[in-house]
Each structure stands twice: as C-alpha cells, then as structure tokens.
Amino acid sequence: MQQQPMQNQSNVMPQPPNIISTKDHLYLQDMLSWNLLAMKKAHFFAEQCQNQELKMELEKTGQMHNRHYQTVLSHLQPQQAQSQPPLQ
C-alpha cells in the first residue's frame, strides 16, 4: 500500500461558529459532565485518603478537572468570561 504525502491538515477555525450542531452540543455536554464527575470523585477520594502524598495528588487532579470544566464553560459563555477572571 502506497502512502500519500500528508496534505495541509491544519483545518483550524479562526473563530468558533455562531451556532453549533446537535452532535457538538451533546459532545460538549458530555465533556462538561465527565470533568465535573471526575472532579467530584477526585475530591471524594482525597477526603477518604490517609496517605498525604496521594491525597495531594488527588486534590491536584480534581483541580485540573475543575479548570478544564471552567475553561469549556467560559468558551460557551463568552460575555461572562470577559468580565470574570478564570477560576484557578
């Protein structure tokens, strides 16, 4: 099988479209749900943990998922994102 050279695959949109498809909406909803659930689980398990090193790593993991959640949310609400600093 002969490989063809990669063509320009930088199909990056300069800005997001004004509307999103139903499929995109469902994917974004899932992404928000997954990050929120992962954040809650990491926090729950950190509270149960007695090993301080592991507890700190779980808290860092929960904070990472919270940042991801807030980032996606800020892209979906651009008016509010401009007036509020992101959560850290």
Q: Would you state the pLDDT for residue 56?
A: 97
Give dist(CA 48, CA 81) in Å, integer.
34
Give dist(CA 17, CA 5) in Å, integer.
30
Give dist(CA 73, CA 29) in Å, integer.
10
Give the model confidence (pLDDT) of 55-84 as tens digits: 999 999 999 999 999 999 988 886 654 555
> Is residue 18 very low, low, confident or very high in pLDDT (cuts 50, 70, 90)?
confident
Give dist(CA 58, CA 42) in Å, integer.
5
Q: Would you state the pLDDT for residue 88?
A: 54
Q: Would you state the pLDDT for residue 61?
A: 97
Give the model confidence (pLDDT) of 26-45 as tens digits: 999 999 999 999 999 999 99
